[in-house]
């Protein structure tokens, strides 16, 4: 009996937190350490080295994985994913508000991926709708059972509040309550004065006469 010990299938689009297999596929893999320090850990005014490093990153097949690694691990030095520390600042600010359903699906399927607060909330809502146990949710999110129980209770209360709000704002509910305006064609009050509505007859309008250009205007100016 033979066992396959290598993964020859397609590479996963979203990697686990501890998965560093993308390193060997990077464009900078195998570069001399001194050369790598010069390119990717250059000084703030070494514009030539920075531009050369960006060219290397632009052709890298795992540029996105490299950038995600730096953002999720809060790397505060060097160039990662073709971006310097200053350029990655805006991405770090938006990281916790990211909502990538591909990551949500990967976590639900059992992969250990980095999740933002919005993505964790999406998994909690999914767990509530699917009737997950608190143990299963705790295992997927890597939290305690008590925390998972509290979050599922909060989500259940929030779902009930949203359902009540939707019932109050449902137009169909308002129509059935009898508070809507009378339909067109209903019987009007006999004592109400007759008000003539706007006429629907089409009245032709003459074209505007073109005003001749006054030649003396230019002279007066």
**Following DSSP, what letter does each residue of 67-124 receive, concatenated?**
HHHHHHTT--SS-BTTB-TTTTHHHHHHHTT---HHHHHHHHTT------HHHHHHHH
Q: Output the pLDDT for position 17.
A: 81
* 88 shares a domain with 50: yes
Which among 95, 115, 149 is the end of a domain? 95
Could you tell me if 107 and 90 lie in one domain?
A: no
Do 115 and 54 share a structural domain? Answer: no
Residue 84 has pLDDT above 90, yes or no: yes
Domain contains 82: yes
Q: Cα separations (Å) of 49 from 10, 130, 167?
A: 34, 53, 61
Q: How many domains does the chain fold into?
A: 2
Domain-located, residue 6: no
Among 79, 95, 111, give the residue marking a domain's end: 95
Bigger pLDDT: 215 or 22?
A: 22
Average pLDDT over residues 115-125: 93
Looking at residue 6, its pLDDT comes to 41
Residue 192 covered by a domain: no
Predicted pLDDT of residue 145: 94
Residue 57 domain flag: yes
Same domain, 105 and 91: no
Average pLDDT over residues 47-52: 92
- DSSP code of residue 13: S
Domain that holds residue 138: 101-170
pLDDT by residue (tens digit) across 137-179? 999 999 999 999 999 999 888 776 666 656 555 555 555 555 5
């Amino acid at each position: 009996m033979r066992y396959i010990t290598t993964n020859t299938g397609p590479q996963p689009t979203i990697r686990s937190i501890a998965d560093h297999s993308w390193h060997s596929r990077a464009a900078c893999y195998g570069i001399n350490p001194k050369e790598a320090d010069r390119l990717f850990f250059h000084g703030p005014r070494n514009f030539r080295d920075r531009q050369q490093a960006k060219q290397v990153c632009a052709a890298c097949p795992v540029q996105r994985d490299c950038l995600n690694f730096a953002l999720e691990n809060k790397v505060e030095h060097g160039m990662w994913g073709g971006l310097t520390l200053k350029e990655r600042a805006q991405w770090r600010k938006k990281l916790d508000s990211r909502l990538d359903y591909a990551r949500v699906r990967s976590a639900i399927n059992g992969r250990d991926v980095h999740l933002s607060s919005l993505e964790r909330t999406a998994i909690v809502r999914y767990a509530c709708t699917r009737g997950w146990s608190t143990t299963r949710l705790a295992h997927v999110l890597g939290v305690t059972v008590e925390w998972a129980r509290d979050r599922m209770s909060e989500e259940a209360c929030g779902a009930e509040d949203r359902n009540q709000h939707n019932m109050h704002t449902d137009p169909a509910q308002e129509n059935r309550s009898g508070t809507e305006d009378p339909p067109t064609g209903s019987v009007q009050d006999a004592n109400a004065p007759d008000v003539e509505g706007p006429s629907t007859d089409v009245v032709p309008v003459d074209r505007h006469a073109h005003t001749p250009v006054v030649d003396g205007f230019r002279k007066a100016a």
